[in-house]
Amino acid sequence: MDGQSKASAMNEDNGTANSGAGEPLDLSGATPMMVQYMEIKAAYPDCLLFYRMGDFYELFFRDAEQAAEALDITLTKRGKHLGEDIPMCGVPVHSAEMYLARLIRKSFKVAVCEQVEDPAEAKKRGSKSVVKRDVVRLVTPGTITEDGLLDARRANYIVALGRAQNALSLAVADMSTGEFFLAPTKAGRLDADLARLSPGELLIAPDLMKDETIATALFDWRSITSPLDARHFDSTDGTARLKALFDVATLDGFASFDRADLAAAGALLYYLEDTQKGQLPHLFPPRRLNAGETMMIDAATRRSLELTRTQTGEADGSLLSVIDRTVTGAGARLLMKRLSAPLTNPDAVASRLDAVEHLIERPSLRHSMRAALRAAPDMERALARLSLGRGGPRDLLGIREGLEAAHAIRQELLTVSEAIERLPDEMTEAMRDLGSHHELTAELGRAIVAEPPLLARDGGFIAAGYDAKLDEFRTLRDESRRLIAGLEGDYQTLTGISGLKIRHNNVLGFHVDVTAKHADKLMTAPLSDTFIHRQTLANAVRFSTTELAKLAGRISEAADRALALETEIFESLTKAVLSLSDPIALAADALARLDVAAALAELAEAENWCRPTVDDSLAFHIEAGRHPVVERALKKSRETTFVANDCDLNPDDRLWLITGPNMAGKSTFLRQNALIAILAQMGSYVPAARAHVGIVDRLFSRVGASDDLAHGRSTFMVEMVETAAILNQAGPKSLVILDEIGRGTATYDGLSIAWAAVENLHNINQSRALFATHYHELTALKETLESLSLWSMKVREWKGDVVFLHEVAKGAADRSYGIQVAKLAGLPPRVIARARQVLSHLETTDKGDKARGLVTDLPLFQSIPERGTSAGPHGAPSEMEAKLKEINPDLLTPREALDLLYALKDLSKETP
């Protein structure tokens, strides 16, 4: 059955079939097409079923309701089911990608069900038979490869969490690039590992959720979690799948995997195969990460530092948005990965920094490299599409242009390295990986036209001169076209009708077209022997001729054969590309690495950043450090310039207690030091005059609190959960940034918690730490904690107002200036005045009596006459009060009462 007849098919359906969505199927009375629909749908209960009917993908029942709402498209009805209308909506096949993208973004999964036979075949089985259909692909957030569905500048990881023998592991793949690795994890660091990867889809066996720590860590990822039956997480099965995929007898050559790794890998590969219906993407052999290879940064810290997104979820305003100068999608993805996973090995960091330095010192090499990179298409993703049989001619062109860019850059580097000196290791490696793919690029260069269509089935992408047979078919086709054009003149002469035209449309094909007034002539002998009447319209009458039909036949035959041949050539070129997929993927990766190095060099030069010294010490010494995002914002606003600040957390002075008013720049200072540590360890220059960073193994930041309604946690609870994580996990190599611990509860409770937290940090965790607080009482800790020092944000008082200098200075702040800041924020003057009274009372009264004293000594409203109260001058009763006194409500009629109310209202307006 084809698309045209779908409406009638649904209307026929007035039987008793079930919707098929998770309910037992009762198909009696359903139309054959509905039976087919429901059977297929029953196999994919958790997906929206895109059911192909002609030029549309149709959705029915609950799927239709969900999709119509998510896509904001019209929900219609077709036919009846169990006496009720069947909801339906549809999307055109030619624009399905756009709709898929929107559904994927909303975390839906889609099963794409195609017609898998020619409708003519179905008809042979009888007029009522249904065209065979089958699901050809599941589109899920983690398995997409189309450019239109993907963000070019972000990786799209699919992750499976495996558990075996009490060990946990994450199998991670980016199907759009072929990246594949295993990352052993622990329940306690699962949250940090997932936050680092920020997957698009997460596969877990539901029984893992019984573990409370795991369930908590997975909570934030619930919208992208796909439950997968526990039997797919099997290490033996995983081993077999890995061996089969990479065609090896043993996995020892890759790494030494434990059972949790293999269970996770098995589930991941099963899922990829299942969603791609047996067609596996190109994947690199798996690497196994070491748990301590990268700086551990938990989700809360990432959020608070706004590394790749701001707290409100936008990319703009994040650290990444400020440092990203890459010019390719693959480069941008790599930069983001590096920013998300700073290294902990000083040598690896130094090696990245060497490449950046090399390119800072050689601006012309950098500029020409970036120019070549700009012309390089996304080879990683083109390759992934080709390997899944989803590629098109533009992907072949992309591979060619990418390899040409690789070649150009390689030549450039070769010239430099031969002429001047040794390249840094990173660049030598990149140069090696860029490889040399002359033959393939030359072949693709000859084969593909400059602007090919998106789909191979459209044809016309193989260049003239590449294949003699193809040229022959095309000549034949063009020749026939020329003959047809010639025929038009012949027919005009033959009939004497100068307006006779030969036209083409999809229904009649090539035909002769004359106006109605000339039609009779062609329909009478002798011309009627040549011209066969086909169609009469209001203004035109159409004819066919044998000769025209013959030529048209030749054209379409030649075109068909040309297309078949083009498809064949496309397949063989794709095969040639895929036979080199590993070296091509390496070249693509090398381009990305060079893009990142050049981009970081560009950034360092433009922003005047310095190369940090990164080693295994416990130093954290920053001179004239800046916060790149705040600095950028200030530059834009042009109001003030950023004030640079030093920070030196050496072992004798590793805990800084920072006091100072709100708005003075404490949070900025805290964050900038955390960001400098991250930037340094990712292999970037840093916003400072000098920086010496001893490797930070874990970074904890609790700056700025917000409540977490989804978890049902109040602001204070969130703060305490995050503080607990820090105090339980931080160690001597960690860097801890804590801002205003305890402020979310009663003063003394908060102070006590902050006090105990500082002691714990100093004595137990022994981490390098910056601790900002409003509790001046904490400064007393200086007496007992020898590695603690006191710092404050400098302010100046000017005519009763406070001026922020944004300078970090030795010593504790003398006071908080909270009231001055509140005044700046525009609190009403009466509140400010009252607050000053309360403050001076508190400051002069004995501690124990403070609260009671407040009530007795400063009764509310006693001292500050407020605007709008009813008191008259000198405390005399106001006119309104006098009037109110006169009233005896019992004696008033309703009308009098109302009048009185109006009078009082008028009086109240007159009161100043």
* Residues annotated in a binding site for ATP: 660-667
Write down the least CB distance from residue 816 to ligand ATP, Å. Answer: 10
Write down the least CB distance from residue 821 to ligand ATP, Å. Answer: 7
Q: Which amino acid is at 150?
A: L
**Residues 761 and 743: beta-carbon distance below 8 Å:** no
* Residue whose CB is less far from ligand ATP, 529 or 639: 639
Does 662 bind ligand ATP (CB under 6 A)? Our answer is yes
* Residue whose CB is less far from ligand ATP, 640 or 763: 640
Identify residues 683-722 at the interface with ligand ATP (CB under 6 A): none
Beta bridge pairs of residue 541: 514, 536
Beta bridge pairs of residue 233: none
Does 806 bind ligand ATP (CB under 6 A)? Our answer is yes
Does 408 bind ligand ATP (CB under 6 A)? Our answer is no
**Residues 99 and 113: beta-carbon distance below 8 Å:** no
Which residue sits closest to ligand ATP, CB atoms considered?
665
Q: Spell out, one character per residue from 719 to 738, where the chain touches ligand ATP: x when CB under 6 A holds, - when not.
A: --------------------
Does 358 bind ligand ATP (CB under 6 A)? Our answer is no
Phi, psi angle pair for 169, to nearest 5°: -150, 150
What are the CA-CA distances from residue 344 to residues 172, 615, 697 (Å)?
A: 21, 9, 6
Write down the least CB distance from residue 236 to ligand ATP, Å. Answer: 54
* Residue whose CB is less far from ligand ATP, 172 or 808: 808
Write down the least CB distance from residue 662 to ligand ATP, Å. Answer: 3
Identify residues 625-654 at the interface with ligand ATP (CB under 6 A): 630, 634, 640, 642-643
Give the one residue of 548, 664, 718, 737 binding ligand ATP; rule: CB under 6 A: 664
Write down the least CB distance from residue 639 to ligand ATP, Å. Answer: 9
Does 180 bind ligand ATP (CB under 6 A)? Our answer is no
* Residue whose CB is less far from ligand ATP, 272 or 663: 663
Give the one residue of 38, 323, 399, 663 binding ligand ATP; rule: CB under 6 A: 663
For residue 697, how many C-alpha atoms fall within 13 Å in the half-sphere facing its CB?
Answer: 15
Tokens of 714: 């109040």
CB-based contacts of 224, cutoff 8 Å, min separation 6: 107, 141, 142, 199, 200, 201, 202
Q: Which amino acid is at 470?
A: L
Q: Where are the alpha helices (DSSP H) in 660-784?
A: 666-682, 715-729, 747-760
* Nearest residue to 693 (alpha-carbon basis) of 729, 647, 739: 647
Does 50 bind ligand ATP (CB under 6 A)? Our answer is no
Distance CA 680, CA 619 (A): 13
Does 757 bind ligand ATP (CB under 6 A)? Our answer is no
* Residue whose CB is less far from ligand ATP, 154 or 743: 743
* Residue whose CB is less far from ligand ATP, 407 or 806: 806
Give the one residue of 338, 654, 666, 698 binding ligand ATP; rule: CB under 6 A: 666
Q: Which helix (H) or strand (E) holds 566?
A: helix 546-578
Q: Where are the alpha helices (DSSP H) in 683-729?
A: 715-729
* Integer Rg of the chain from CA: 37
Does 668 bind ligand ATP (CB under 6 A)? Our answer is yes
Distance CA 325, CA 598 (A): 8
Identify residues 831-860 at the interface with ligand ATP (CB under 6 A): none
Q: With 0-12 CB in 10 A as exposed, 13-18 as middle and 19+ as buried, what is 403? A: buried
Does 665 bind ligand ATP (CB under 6 A)? Our answer is yes
Distance CA 269, CA 246 (A): 12
Distance CA 763, CA 653 (A): 13
CB-based contacts of 339, cutoff 8 Å, min separation 6: 307, 308, 319, 320, 323, 678, 682
Residue numbers belonging to the annotated binding site: 660-667
Instruction: Please tell me the count of residues contacting ligand ATP according to CB under 6 A.
Output: 13
Tell me the torsion sign for CA atoms 263, 268, 273, 274: positive
Does 667 bind ligand ATP (CB under 6 A)? Our answer is yes
Does 778 bind ligand ATP (CB under 6 A)? Our answer is no
Does 817 bind ligand ATP (CB under 6 A)? Our answer is no
* Residue whose CB is less far from ligand ATP, 385 or 806: 806
End-to-end CA distance of the chain: 82
* Residue whose CB is less far from ligand ATP, 415 or 640: 640
Q: Which residues bind ligand ATP (CB under 6 A)?
A: 630, 634, 640, 642-643, 662-668, 806
